[in-house]
A and B are shown apart, each in its own frame.
Chain A
């Protein structure tokens, strides 16, 4: 089966089991949010090429604050006449890029640190975990807030700022899972057979840590999208000409009673993305836990 080639063996096995046991009604809680997410990603990255959408900054003041379902602007326009659908789609790109980017940095860097610390133990483990604990002691949004401001607000720096939260979070999870795995029979056996440490880690520990990191990764993407929107809402995230869900919401703040759709449209997009990521993450987690 194709799936077993793409996924790490431990996860492929789980996916296989899940295919055998679950019928389609029971797997709706996975496929519905997954489908919505695929649709959303597709719409944001390819939508503007398929249907003609005006540029996110191409509006004119004459079209300012057009309501929903106006001709030419299905989701209305913002305070300076920019098309809200277009801003939501282009803003979605940034939101997805930031979410995936900071998740991947956390996954790779945090995951490696956590596995290494958990497997080796000793002074290395103590140093890594104490250092990361300091970053976890900060509320994530405040950390991102300070880092983003002082690095300068742009997309790459926002990703770095959010990574200060994702790296320690992934490291903790990877370390906890590794600590359990280290004492399991198959890992001990391989170690006793004289395998090199690298082989034990890469063949036996890493593939079994990855599934729990992946489900956590979905939740992390949601949190990262939240933080990006909050930073941009405060004017400290994505800089002005680039559209972002957070900054579009902020721009509609003062027209809340006359033109509530300026706040509503990007909020609904953000809500759909975050709710789907959360439900998918939870559905996958209960499946992995029950096996």
Chain B
């Protein structure tokens, strides 16, 4: 019963990934500017430009070039950077772990705060914690992350000197400095996440409390209110949290572009910014492909997780 659904999901996954890469390819290649001129500079002779164009395969039709790129990409070759000549996969391999660590940290911080706050807010609607968290959420959703990042730098790095303002020290050079360099950027990202998660989770818990029969059953057999909230309602509400995490993932990736630029972190987001500035088409494409594939995969995984966790979905009764 579960396998046909998984199979159908995978079949939808492939066309989206191919479509996304094709659109990117089209977009980057139809735009004005000649890649060969970009590499050699405007002072190059027409002969050498023509030679390089032939070497890069730029004279081939667009569809043929996309096919070449796709088959190479599938065998793990994303081409070479037009600026530094490094293989794109090597560059990505250096950058991806930084972003991954940042995202995981931001995600954990957001969850650690959002879940207890949501439970306490749902326990006493319109109570002090509910009102405070509503206000915090309003700020979290309306303060742009680049402003929040700058404020955090001003407060904690320049004023109190708790954290380094910018820069990154790798995990290899010790966990302490590594976490110190990532904490401010992770906090910047997690504030908006906290706002979204805590409000959604609270709303879902309130709805379950008001409508679901299992809550009535639990109350009727004398289960205490805190236990109902945590063992029964929270467990069910976590499903919708998983959905939100999946839906919000795109926003999360978008935030890394900004935050990595502000805090000068050598992640995939700042790589994209510099590649776009330098018109480095191959690197831009590599980053976009990775991001698109990851986003689509996350959506797929959240759908499947739903399937695994909720028996009602699995047996088709919902």
Give Cα A130 to B19, complex, Å: 9
Asked whether, in the complex, the Cβ of A137 is within 8 Å of the Cβ of B257, the reply is: no
Closest chain B CB from A94 CB (angstroms): 16
Chain A proximity mask over B208-234: 1 for CB below 8 Å, otherwise 0: 000000000000000000000000000
Give Cα A94 to B251, complex, Å: 23
B292 lies within 8 A of chain A by Cβ: yes
Asked whether, in the complex, the Cβ of A256 is within 8 Å of the Cβ of B258, the reply is: no
Lowest 6 A-B CB distances belong to which pairs? A141-B254, A275-B142, A139-B250, A139-B254, A134-B19, A139-B253
- B residues in contact (CB < 8 Å) with A: 15-16, 19-20, 23-24, 27-28, 31, 138-139, 141-144, 146-147, 150, 153-154, 158-159, 250-254, 257-258, 261-262, 272-273, 276-277, 284, 288, 291-292, 295-296, 299
Closest chain B CB from A108 CB (angstroms): 22
Asked whether, in the complex, the Cβ of B144 is within 8 Å of the Cβ of A226, the reply is: yes
Give Cα A260 to B153, complex, Å: 12
A146 lies within 8 A of chain B by Cβ: yes
Chain A residues with CB under 8 Å of B257's CB are: 141-142, 145, 234
Q: Chain B: which residue is nearest A266 at the CB level?
A: B147
A278-B250 in contact given A234-B261, A249-B147 (Cβ < 8 Å): no
Picked from A136, A150, A246, A253, the residue with its CB within 8 Å of the CB of B31 is: A150
Give Cα A147 to B31, complex, Å: 10
Asked whether, in the complex, the Cβ of A278 is within 8 Å of the Cβ of B138, the reply is: yes
Which positions 227-275 of chain A face chain B at CB distance < 8 Å?
A: 229-230, 233-234, 236, 246, 249, 253, 256-257, 260, 263, 267, 270-271, 274-275
Closest chain B CB from A167 CB (angstroms): 14
A154 lies within 8 A of chain B by Cβ: no
Asked whether, in the complex, the Cβ of A149 is within 8 Å of the Cβ of B276, the reply is: yes
Chain B residues with CB under 8 Å of A229's CB are: 144, 146
Asked whether, in the complex, the Cβ of A142 is within 8 Å of the Cβ of B288, the reply is: yes
Q: List 19 A-B contacts (CB under 8 A).
A: A134-B16, A134-B20, A134-B23, A137-B20, A138-B292, A139-B250, A139-B254, A142-B257, A146-B28, A150-B27, A246-B146, A249-B146, A256-B154, A263-B150, A271-B143, A274-B141, A278-B138, A278-B142, A279-B138
Q: Chain A: which residue is nearest B299 at the CB level?
A: A137
Give Cα A274 to B284, complex, Å: 30
Closest chain B CB from A286 CB (angstroms): 11
Picked from B23, B252, B276, the residue with its CB within 8 Å of the CB of A145 is: B276
Chain A residues with CB under 8 Å of B253's CB are: 139, 142
- A residues in contact (CB < 8 Å) with B: 130-131, 133-142, 145-147, 149-151, 222, 226, 229-230, 233-234, 236, 246, 249, 253, 256-257, 260, 263, 267, 270-271, 274-275, 278-279
Give Cα A141 to B288, complex, Å: 12
Asked whether, in the complex, the Cβ of B292 is within 8 Å of the Cβ of A137, the reply is: yes
Asked whether, in the complex, the Cβ of A230 is within 8 Å of the Cβ of B276, the reply is: no
Picked from B28, B139, B146, B250, the residue with its CB within 8 Å of the CB of A138 is: B250
Closest chain B CB from A100 CB (angstroms): 18
Picked from B27, B251, B252, the residue with its CB within 8 Å of the CB of A146 is: B27
Give Cα A130 to B12, complex, Å: 9
Q: Chain B: which residue is nearest A279 at the CB level?
A: B138
Asked whether, in the complex, the Cβ of A274 is within 8 Å of the Cβ of B142, the reply is: yes
Q: Chain B: which residue is nearest A134 at the CB level?
A: B19
Chain A residues with CB under 8 Å of B138's CB are: 275, 278-279
A146-B284, A278-B138 known; 4 new pairs, CB 8 Å cut-off, are A137-B20, A142-B272, A145-B257, A246-B146
Asked whether, in the complex, the Cβ of B251 is within 8 Å of the Cβ of A139, the reply is: yes
Chain B residues with CB under 8 Å of A236's CB are: 276
